[in-house]
Amino acid sequence: MRGILPSVAEIPFPPPVLAEAMRDATILTEEWGTAFPDPPKAGWLDDLNGWLKDQPITPDYARTSRAMKKLHETHPRSYEVLYRAIVVGERFEETTKWLNDRAKRNRIPLPAGSTEHYRIKDTVALFIAGLSFVRSHS
């Protein structure tokens, strides 16, 4: 988990919120991140969707697995950000680039007055929101 956060100047969230997010991310990594045999390469989302549907829930990962499946169904962007940070180990800058590339590829219109779809603070917000969801649903 170390090294995924950009500099504090780029993140407009209070330090206690970030500290709580990193604590929760560490717990999630221990409970869920190690459940994947190998991070998927190209086509990872299709592989992951299949894995989620076919994966038996063991007692050790039951609550977290259910919460992550629910997050995937209801808030896919937050899920993808958590997956890329926790399982793949991407930095937020890389995930932000991926989100922007995805939005361009899918021809999603830019928000009014914006030059890009996502900024690092948006990616961090998705990360924090995803962790909060998992915490409240596990």
CA distance to 115, 123, 138, per residue, from 107 (Å): 14, 19, 35
Structure-token pair, residue 126: 């998705």
CA distance between the termini of the chain: 21
DSSP assignment of 96-127: HHHHHHHHHHTTPPPPTT-SSS--HHHHHHHH
| Three-state secondary structure call for residue 57 | coil
pLDDT score, position 127: 92
Q: What is the DSSP letter of 84?
A: I
* Beta carbons within 10 angstroms of residue 66's beta carbon: 14
CA distance 23 to 15: 12
CA distance 59 to 69: 15
CA distance 138 to 65: 8
| Contact between 124 and 39 (Cβ < 8 Å) | no
pLDDT score, position 117: 95
Compute mean pLDDT per 10 residues along the chain, 138 residues long, and list them: 49 78 80 58 48 51 77 94 86 93 94 91 93 86
